[in-house]
């Protein structure tokens, strides 16, 4: 009588044979939530900002940058406020 094959049976793996857990290993690792792959980084915004090229006078750009971090956000707000005034 032929010997029964153990298909689907779990094969024991010695934990000492596992690769070392290095920083490089974790950098390449995929994070999963069940079957869903979790992407790294910020989640995408529904209306993400778009990058544009805008030429400004050097003195204006220097003054904006001198106002400190967040100057691009402040320029965005100033343009939005100006557009609201134009619509009124």
Instruction: Provide the pLDDT for residue 55.
Output: 96
Cβ–Cβ < 8 Å for 37, 30: yes
Quote the CA–CA distance of 80 and 74 in Å, as a whole number. 10
Contact assessment for residue 77 and residue 83, using Cβ atoms and an 8 Å cutoff: no
Secondary structure element (H or E) that encloses residue 32, with its range: strand 31-33
What is the reported pLDDT for 9?
Answer: 67
Angstrom distance (rounded) from CA 49 to CA 51 = 7
Cβ proximity of 75 and 67 under 8 Å: no
pLDDT in tens, 31-71: 888 888 887 788 888 988 899 999 999 999 999 999 999 99
């Amino acid at each position: 009588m032929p010997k029964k094959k153990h298909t689907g049976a779990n094969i024991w793996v010695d934990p000492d044979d596992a690769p070392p857990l290095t920083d490089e290993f974790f950098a390449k690792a995929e994070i999963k939530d069940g079957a869903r792959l979790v992407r790294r980084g910020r989640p995408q915004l529904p209306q993400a900002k778009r990058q544009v090229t805008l030429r400004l006078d050097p003195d204006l750009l220097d003054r904006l940058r001198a106002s400190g971090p967040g100057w691009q956000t402040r320029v965005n707000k100033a343009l939005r406020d100006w557009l609201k005034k134009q619509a009124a």
